[in-house]
Each structure stands twice: as structure tokens, then as C-alpha cells.
Structure 1
Amino acid sequence: MIDHKQATTMQMPSSISTRLQYQHKSLIELIDGISDEEFRQAIYPGKWSIFENIVHLETYQHIFIHRVRLMLDGSNPTFDRYTAEADPLFHEHCAKSSREVMQELLSTRKELAAGMLSFTENDLAKTGSHPVYGPMNIT
């Protein structure tokens, strides 16, 4: 995962660290009691189901981790726009069970949070550039 420690560790803003550690867990409460059929049903034709939205969140975490690593190791890398439709991992994970996807979401987020919460002030200031959002730092 992301392990990039240096001499001093700066506290990540609490609003960010709290969301990083806990926001994804609210999905469990939101989908509790929904049948797998309802979970996978697209409400509007051509739009994603609840399941596909969660697969998107789960698979994008891997893209995010990769981008953070590039920011830590590089000099202001430039990133392409992400689209789930062009991501083979998204399509692969759409074939998984709901339980597998949720487990992957939770375990990857736990790993992501643990790595990022140990970042130094220098790490958090590293930047990358996005074609829509422009230059941005890790926080």
C-alpha cells in the first residue's frame, strides 16, 4: 500500500482523516435490508445500479492509491480523466458478489487510510495535475 514515512508526521486535518476512515462504512447502513436483486437493479435505463456505483467506489480506490504513489515518487505527475467504463478492474469486479465487493471496499479503504494517516507534511504537500481539476495536493 502507501507507505511513505519521513522524519516528521503532520496531522492530517481531522475532517479529512475522519472521512477517510469512516465515510465508506455508512454504505453498509444505507444498503442494509436491500435484496441482492434490488441492489443490482438499474432504476433508470442506462444508469448504474447501486451495486455498480459501489463497484465504482471500490475500484477507483486502486486508481487513487496509484495516483498518490505517483505524486509521492514523482514531480507533479499529470493524470488522465478516469472513466469506469474504460477500467478493466471495474468490469471484472462487476462480476463479483456483493459481499466480495463490499469486503474489498472495506479492506482497501482500511489499507489506504492507514498509509495516508502516516504521511508527513512534505508528503501531504506533494502535487499532481488533473485535466479538469488542475493542480492539486494529496489532501
Structure 2
Amino acid sequence: MAVVAALALLVVGVMALIDAISGEPDQRGPVTSGTPSGGGGGGGGEATRTSGAASPTSTVPLVIRVTGQPTTVVVRVADAQGKVLTNGQLDTGDILQYDEAPLQVVAANGGSLQVTIYGEEQPRKPNGQRGQWFVRERS
């Protein structure tokens, strides 16, 4: 009986690891995701994901719009803990907003993204090439 329980636990662990590595989000469509407020370990910011148009303001540190092909995007808090806020494929039309800084952003295809930092649209990256951005804390 103990062997069966251990084997079941091992299978569940492997499945969770595969899901984590694949980067596929559990939910599809418009969702709000992010980190819980006040929990330390990298800040209490929140990422909002929508599939429609959003109007960035100059007070929002980061807005990412997928205007080209779907691409993998990683957004992490740029501090000692490096908490990952987003790690997965974003689809054409997806928009993410982040209410905290500093942030590091890396996209597999930087040319697929329109990146706005504090209301200022960033220069487009070449299509098919990795893109990187840094969002500084506003003083």
C-alpha cells in the first residue's frame, strides 16, 4: 500500500513539473493574475491580462501588447528575489499591465510586442529576435 501511495505521489509531482516547465497557463482568455498583496519576497504587484484594448497611463509602469505572432514572455521583479510574475506564451491581442517596478522583461520574439513604460512606447525590436526591456522604479 505504501508503494502505491509513493508511486501516486511521484506521478503527481512529475505532472506538476511538466506543467511548470511547459509554461502553459492553466486558464485561457481574459484573466487577472499576479502576486498576493503585501506578501514580501518581491513585492505585491499585480499583472492584469486582457484580450481587448486598454489605455495605458503614464503612471502604469509597464504595459505589454502582443501585436504580432504569439510569443513566450518572462516578466520578473528586478530585485534580489527575482520573483517571476509572468512566464508563458502570450497570444496575439493579449495585453498585460504591471503596477510595480523595477521589472525585467524578456520575450522570445521581441518584434511581436508593443512595450509601453510609464506611458512611453518603446522602440520596436526586430521581428524574430529576442527582446529585453527594463522598467526602473520611478523616483
Alignment TM class, shorter chain as reference: under 0.3
Structure number with the higher helix fraction is 1
Report the TM-score, using the length of structure 1 for normalisation: 0.25
> Higher RCO, 1 or 2 (CA under 8 Å, sep at least 6)?
1
> Which one has a larger percent strand, Structure 1 or Structure 2?
2
TM-score when scaled to structure 2? 0.25
